[in-house]
Amino acid sequence: MFETNMQFIDLRSDTVTKPSEGMRAAMLAAPVGDDVIDIDPTVVALQDRIARLLGKEAAIFMPSGTMTNQIALRVHCSPGDEFLCESGCHIYNYEQGGFAQLSGLVAKTITGQNGLLDVEQLDGSVRPDNEHMVHTRLLCIENTHNRGAGKVYSLSRVQSLCEWAHSAGLRTHMDGARLFNASVATGVSLEAYSEPFDSISVCFSKGLGAPVGSCLVGSRDFISKARRARKLFGGGMRQVGIIAAGALFALEHQMSRLAEDHEHARLLASAIDECKSFQLADKVPDTNIVIFHVDKNRGTAIQLTESLKQDGILSLPFGPQSVRLVTHHDVSRDQIEHACKVLRGLE
């Protein structure tokens, strides 16, 4: 199912990137130690770096963004609590309801515009203190929004959502798996985007192009609780500097180039826009994700992805009639231009 043949232009996800030579060299040379019983110096360097970049006291490295999100929920909430989130978000749709399975939480979903919530929609969504009801504890925001075709929140929108949440007594968590894309696309610093949140999750294995890893970022007290939960969830890793070095290298060398991915996504979208049987979720993508609807008369999403594969392009069926393309580090301008030519040739 997963092709490794390099002749394919792989636009299924920004997680398909392979570590570059420079990244592999950095991983090979990384000083390491046992990060569970003691410390791993490379992990400490990564955690310090990302905490500073996001303007928070502390950070903790984990194997996946699912784990950083689920541990954030667990630390912010207690069993029987409720959190608010957007109905298309990753935490609700793509983590097996881990919040319910692992931490006894319930989610209240609110549908935004391309995944983005407005503060007006949240009025009345905190439950009264009443013995019939769960306690509402937390607001989760996804920036950029994956199912929302990589849509970015403006800083002022994030600020007003968090102001509302804090004044309602809630905590705030940002699923920033692609926060680096949001920052590069808008010019809003990582620190400014993070400032209104109590916790932030970022992924190094998406657009940044590292092979493994995510960080959860927040106050020193929050992160020490998260460290305990990480051991419980099986995320304590030993000589983990080997993979943390890939993340450090990605931060250092592969962040500013995200603008190129965004430009590539706009090129793909403009080619798709010329096809009458396709409708883009967002005509001009904000970042590196392009989602489009396929007319039933033309066939299903799976049929389209099969036919694109015949032309050497791998894409992801994202619903019965929708397809996702994601640009990333391992797709060149030439390959994007070739993909655009193929897309333009479709009817």
Ligand X SMILES: *Cc1c(COP(=O)(O)O)cnc(C)c1O
The binding site for ligand X (CB under 6 A) comprises 64-66, 69, 90, 142, 146, 175, 177, 203, 205-206, 214
156 token code pair? 């002022």
Which contiguous run of DSSP H or E holds residue 107?
strand 106-110
Give the shortest CB-291-to-ligand X separation in angstroms.
13
Q: How far is the CB of 132 from ligand X (least distance, A)?
A: 33
Q: With respect to ligand X, which residue has the nearer C-beta, 175 or 340?
A: 175
Nearer to ligand X, 199 or 271 (CB): 199
Distance CA 265, CA 145 (A): 15
Q: How many residues belong to the chain?
A: 347
Question: For 45, how many CA atoms within 13 A lie in the half-sphere containing its CB?
Answer: 19
Residue placing its CB nearer to ligand X in the complex, 105 or 126: 105
Shortest distance (Å) from residue 109 CB to ligand X: 15
The token pair at 43 is 């992990």
Q: Minimal CB distance to ligand X: which residue?
A: 65
Closest to 76 in 3D by CA, of 195, 172, 164, 159: 172
Give whichever of 66 and 254 is closer to ligand X, judged by the CB atom: 66
CB of residue 69 vs ligand X: minimum separation in angstroms?
Answer: 6
| Rounded-to-integer distance, Cα 276 and Cα 7, Å | 28
In whole angstroms, how close is the CB of 248 to ligand X at the nearest point? 18
Cβ proximity to ligand X: between 43 and 177 the closer is 177
What does DSSP say about strands 214-218 and 289-294: parallel, antiparallel, or unpaired? unpaired
CA dist 204 and 318 (Å) reads 23
